[in-house]
Structure 1
Amino acid sequence: MFGCQPVLLSPVPDIKAILEYVCTESNKLFNCATYYARQIYFKTRKYVGKSRLDEEMKSNPHFQAMHSQAAQQTCHGVWEAFKSYRELLALWKRGELEDKPKLPKYRDAGLSVASYPKQALKLVDGLIRVPLGSKVKAWFGIASFTLPMPSNLRFEDIRELRILPRNRCFYAEFVYRQPELAPIQLDLSRALGIDHDISPTSQNGETGRFEMRLTKLPGL
């Protein structure tokens, strides 16, 4: 079982510029990967595989502008969108869906979510270090940036970190593993039922009453 905890970020100007850069490149890469997947479908009526999409996008400048694992997560988002389209199309052909689904479309220019799997992250002095990739390090001399680690989560439980732009703000979404909850054992032979016997107030001032009694559920 997994949970997701969003945290509103208040980045300093330098970190905000990095977040804008990463999310902008993620959006551009998503559109490039969508274009490639659409062209494959139009020309061959086939759906591009996850590994092939990664391989084809490796030479894309927007892929190279991101950390490789984050770039792959963006490409996998495109693959999942086409996978959902394929499943919905099958339902429509069987008459189980009223409206015919449409191929995944391009996103508007702007910012898009950037996701980092746990393998790409490191915990250093209570801060999560997020890598930027070799190209960014060569271009700008910056290898990574850091985000605060939520005090109520354990780093070993985190499975993914998402940088989410929303309403001109940035959120860090922490996807984490939750412990399995033990099933609650109920003793149905001792269920409590409430019988509301309510009488309205009469003209002479007599009030109604509530009665509560222990009732065994029917059929038990």
Structure 2
Amino acid sequence: MDYKTVKVLLTNNINDECNDYLQFACEQSNKLYNSTVYALRQAHFANCSIRTFFDKEDLYRASFKLGKVKVSYPQLCKDLKINDHYQAIGGNQGQQTIKSVVESFKSYNKLLSMWFQGELSNKPKLPNYRKNGLYQISFVGRDIKFAKDGLSCYLPIPRSQKDELITGKLNIPCAKGVTADNIAELRIVPSLGKLWAEYVYKAPEKKATELDYSQAIGIDSGINNFITAVSNTGKSFILCGKHLKFINQKYNKTVAQYKEGKSDFYWDDYLNEITHKRNCQIKDSVNKYARFVINYCLNHRIGNIVFGWGQGVKSEVNLGKRNNQNFVQLPTARLKNRIKELAHEVGIKFAETEESYTSKSSFLDEDLLPKYGEKPKECKFSGKRVQRGLYRTSNGQTINADCLGAINILKKVSIQLGLNLAEVCRGALTLPKRYRVNDLTKVYRKRSEQVLTCVATSA
């Protein structure tokens, strides 16, 4: 059984009483979160020993010794049971908020162990308090009641708040495909002045059974060419990224004009609204890009996806002010994660690899393709990039530079995956088929769904 999540916008789709209560519940959840953090931090500092030392300027200093935080979820629930914020949102909801704090401190303990062992370069910081605002509130699936028509559901109300509500019911719209039998959790998530309902539900597994795992595609991400993919069967395509680039540029220009003459920290409802619109457009586009890649693999029976990924590349990028903005704001990590999720759902194997020297090494000249930091001094590449998007090999042939990066990404893991790259020729690297994903009709999606239906089994 797989778990899936679907989001529904609640703002303007619920009555004022329900909206006011959910805003109040999220505010109380935020305060309970901070109360839990306070309890853990104070207990930790009370048990920490103090170390003294001289700093670089030869000044005498004192600080707490680093150590793991002792976390006990049952004890926290017992101690905070009488907390006003805990009682305001109800027992089950309060426990979910406490559990989220416990998970963050456990993550800190794991990161601290990795830092001690030298696996992390930056020292992790102890989880801190949230600023005044709203925090999500979670409802257990068994507490959600559904209407007979299945179009709405009712949220549980704690005893302390029942007398405050006139109608005595909290009715919100339901998501398509979510029923009382498959719902696992419901989260009310505040974001940019709006409330969202995230339904987590169980879905039957659906795996494609006729995939060919000797086939694979390598994916290279960029800006104008957001996705460039080359398969080991000698086919290639490019998904245009100019639509995403335009969305970000328009958003940045609008924000800059609106905030002209105002403080850098100025924010209001209008900025919330345009940011919300921009985020929805980005999310929709990312889902279309990811779905296109998965559909392509299903239609061609491709069983492997290899994604080129440069860890920390955005934090260290130095391409100039304009190019930095275009590159950093592209949701490459979100795209990678979405492709990985969809690939897992249908049984396609997903792998990611570092992409060092993939744009310099000539695939057609069989150049060496070293890892980052392992390049031999005598290593020289046969070709070079002569202009934007164009690479020239040693014999003067020109190929698409992004396609070269994609096939080299595939080459990096060809031995591990047992891939044969003999069918990849100059034609696949010269004339990739180009798509504008936002202009495609639903025919392509339905065609791939047909393929999956024919070869899938439900668990």
Question: What is the CA-CA distance between 1:93 and the residue it aligns to?
Answer: 0.5
Distance in 2 (alpha carbons) for counterparts of 1:124 and 1:195: 50
Distance in 1 (alpha carbons) for counterparts of 2:28 and 2:14: 19
Q: Determine if contact 1:85/1:101 at 8 Å carries over to the other structure.
A: yes
Q: Note if 1:148 corresponds to 2:149.
A: no
Question: What is the CA-CA distance between 1:153 and the residue it aligns to?
Answer: 2.5
Distance in 1 (alpha carbons) for counterparts of 2:90 and 2:136: 14
Q: Note if 1:2 corresponds to 2:3.
A: yes
Question: What is the CA-CA distance between 1:116 and the residue it aligns to?
Answer: 0.6
Distance in 2 (alpha carbons) for counterparts of 1:63 and 1:143: 20
Q: Note if 1:87 corresponds to 2:110.
A: yes
Q: Which has the higher contact order (CA 8 A, sep 6+)?
A: 1
Mark the CA change 1:75 to 1:188 in structure 2 (over 3 Å): closer, same or farther: closer
Question: What is the CA-CA distance between 1:4 and the residue it aligns to?
Answer: 1.0
Q: 1:35 aligns with which of 31, 35, 38?
A: 38
Question: What is the CA-CA distance between 1:8 and the residue it aligns to?
Answer: 0.6
What's the counterpart of residue 54 of structure 1?
77
What's the counterpart of residue 205 of structure 2?
180
Query: TM-score, length-normalised on structure 1?
Result: 0.81
Deviation per residue, 1:59-97 (Å, 9 max, x gap) = 100001012101100000110010000000000011111
Mark the CA change 1:190 to 1:62 in structure 2 (over 3 Å): closer, same or farther: closer
What's the counterpart of residue 20 of structure 2?
17
Distance in 2 (alpha carbons) for counterparts of 1:135 and 1:50: 24
What's the counterpart of residue 115 of structure 1?
138
Q: Determine if contact 1:29/1:63 at 8 Å carries over to the other structure.
A: yes
SS of equivalent to 2:142: helix
Mark the CA change 1:111 to 1:187 in structure 2 (over 3 Å): closer, same or farther: closer
Distance in 2 (alpha carbons) for counterparts of 1:180 and 1:28: 39
Q: 1:162 aligns with which of 184, 187, 193?
A: 187
What's the counterpart of residue 129 of structure 1?
154
What's the counterpart of residue 209 of structure 1?
none
How is 1:183-194 mapped onto 2 (pairs within 5 angstroms)?
183-186=208-211, 193-194=233-234
Question: What is the CA-CA distance between 1:188 and the residue it aligns to?
Answer: 7.0
Query: TM-score, length-normalised on structure 2?
Result: 0.40
Which aligned runs of 4 or more in structure 1 are off by greater than 3 angstroms?
138-144, 186-196
Q: Determine if contact 1:136/1:143 at 8 Å carries over to the other structure.
A: no
**Gapped regions of structure 2 (runs ≥ 5):** 49-68, 217-231, 237-419, 423-459
What's the counterpart of residue 221 of structure 2?
none
Deviation per residue, 1:34-62 (Å, 9 max, x gap) = 10011111112541211111111101000
Question: What is the CA-CA distance between 1:151 and the residue it aligns to?
Answer: 2.8
Number of residue pairs the alignment of both structures matches: 199
Q: Determine if contact 2:215/2:233 at 8 Å carries over to the other structure.
A: no
Distance in 1 (alpha carbons) for counterparts of 2:131 and 2:215: 59
Distance in 1 (alpha carbons) for counterparts of 2:95 and 2:40: 15
